Chain A
Amino acid sequence: MLIMFLKNAIRLSATFLYGATGEIVIEKGGHLNLGIPGVMSIGAAAGCLTEYALVTSIGNSSPALLILLPLLVTILAGVLMGLLYCFLTVTLRANQNVVGLAMTTFGIGLAGYLVNNESDIYIIGSVGSVFNNMFNVPQDANGFVQVFFSHGILVYLAVIIAIAAQIVLSKTRLGLNLRAVGENPATADAAGINVTKYKYISTCVGCAISAIGGLFCIMDYMGGNWGDGYTLEGFGWLSLALVIFTMWRPSLAILGSIIFAGLYTFSNFAGIAAYQKDFVNILPYAVTIVILILTSIFDKKKKVQPPAALGVPYFREER
Chain B
Amino acid sequence: MDKTVAIELKGITKTFGEVIANNNVDLTAYRGEVLSILGENGSGKTTLMNMIAGIYFPDEGEIRIDGEIVSIRSPKDAFDHRIGMIHQHFKLVDVFSAADNILLGEKYKGFDVKEEKQRLLDAFAEENAAFEAYKPEEHTGILSYMFAPKFHDEKEIKRKLSAVPLKKFTNRMKFGWLSRGRAKSLQQIAKKYGFAIDLKKRIHDMSVSEKQTVEIIKVLYRNADILILDEPTAVLTPQEIDKLFGVLRKMREDGKCVIIITHKLNEVMEISDRVAVMRKGEHIATVNTADTNEQQLTEMMVGKKIELNINRTEPQEPTDRLVVEHVSAISREGVKILDDVCFEARSGEILGIAGIAGSGQRELLESIAGLQKLNGGDIWYFDPSNDNEKVDLRSKTPLQIRNLGVRLSFVPEDRLGMGLVGNMDLIDNMMLRSYRHTITLKPEDGEVKEAEDCEDKLDTKIKLKRGLTKLGRGIASGAVKIWSSVFLDRKSPKTLAETIVQDLEVVTPSTHTPVRRLSGGNVQKVLVGREIAAAPTVLMAAYPVRGLDINSSYTIYNLLNAQKEKGVAVIYVGEDLDVLIELCDRIMVICGGKVTGIVDGRTAQKEQLGLMMLGRVCETEPQETLKEGVGDDKD
Spell out A's residues near B (CB within 8 Å).
170-177, 179-180, 183-184, 186-194, 300-302, 305, 308, 316-317, 319
Contact = CB atoms under 8 A, between A and B. Distances in A.
Interface of B: 16, 53, 55-56, 74-76, 78-79, 85, 87, 91-96, 100-101, 103-107, 175-178, 218, 332-334
Nearest to B14: A317
A190 B75 contact: yes
Given A183-B95, A187-B104, A189-B55, 18 more contacts: A171-B178, A172-B176, A172-B178, A173-B175, A177-B105, A179-B93, A183-B94, A183-B96, A184-B93, A184-B94, A187-B93, A188-B105, A191-B75, A192-B76, A301-B332, A301-B334, A305-B95, A317-B16
A176 B178 contact: yes
A192 B105 contact: yes
B103 A192 contact: no
16 contacts: A173-B176, A183-B95, A184-B94, A187-B101, A189-B75, A190-B75, A190-B91, A191-B75, A191-B104, A192-B79, A192-B107, A301-B332, A305-B95, A316-B56, A317-B16, A319-B16
A193 B222 CA distance: 14
B200 to A, nearest CB: 15
Given A190-B75, A192-B79, A301 B333 contact: yes
Nearest to A300: B332
A176 B93 CA distance: 11
B93 A183 contact: yes
Nearest to A171: B178
Nearest to B86: A190
Given A190-B91, A193-B104, A301-B333, A173 B178 contact: yes
A176 B55 contact: no
A191 B95 contact: no
A242 to B, nearest CB: 22
Contact of B332 (A188, A302, A305): A302
B332 A187 contact: no
Contacts of B53: 190
B393 to A, nearest CB: 27
The 3 closest A-B pairs by CB, nearest first: A191-B105, A192-B76, A187-B91
A94 B519 CA distance: 27
Nearest to B104: A191
Contacts of A316: 55-56
A305 B95 CA distance: 10
A178 to B, nearest CB: 11
A176 B85 CA distance: 21
Contacts of A189: 55, 74-75
A174 B173 CA distance: 11
B177 A173 contact: yes
A173 B16 CA distance: 35
Nearest to B332: A300
Nearest to A196: B74
A172 B92 CA distance: 19
A194 B77 CA distance: 11
Given A171-B177, A171-B178, A180-B104, A191 B91 contact: yes
B104 A194 contact: no
A174 B105 CA distance: 9
A123 B343 CA distance: 83
Given A191-B105, A194-B74, A308 B333 contact: no
Q: Which of A175, A190, A319 has the most CB of B within 10 A?
A: A190
A318 to B, nearest CB: 10
Q: Which of A175, A184, A300 has the most CB of B within 10 A?
A: A184
A180 B16 contact: no
B96 A317 contact: no
Nearest to B92: A187
Contacts of A308: 94-95
B344 to A, nearest CB: 34
Nearest to B16: A319
Contacts of A172: 176-178
A188 B75 CA distance: 9
Contacts of B106: 173, 192
A34 to B, nearest CB: 24
B78 to A, nearest CB: 8
Nearest to A319: B16
A194 B176 CA distance: 16
A192 B35 CA distance: 25
A90 to B, nearest CB: 15
A317 B56 contact: yes
Q: Which of B56, B75, B334 has the most CB of A within 10 A?
A: B75
Contacts of B101: 187
B87 to A, nearest CB: 7
A33 B248 CA distance: 46
Contacts of B178: 170-173, 175-176
A40 to B, nearest CB: 30
B198 to A, nearest CB: 19
A183 B97 CA distance: 13
A190 B74 CA distance: 8
Nearest to B333: A301
Q: Which of A170, A305, A317 has the most CB of B within 10 A?
A: A317
A30 B346 CA distance: 49
Nearest to B215: A190
Q: Which of B78, B93, B100, B101 has the most CB of A within 10 A?
A: B93
Nearest to B77: A192
A180 B101 CA distance: 9
B334 A194 contact: no
A186 B78 CA distance: 15
A305 B218 CA distance: 26
Nearest to A167: B177
Q: Which of A175, A177, A192, A193 has the most CB of B within 10 A?
A: A192
A158 B136 CA distance: 64
Contacts of A175: 178
Nearest to A174: B176
A171 B178 CA distance: 5
Contacts of B96: 176, 179-180, 183
A300 B75 CA distance: 36
Q: Which of B76, B79, B87 has the most CB of A within 10 A?
A: B76
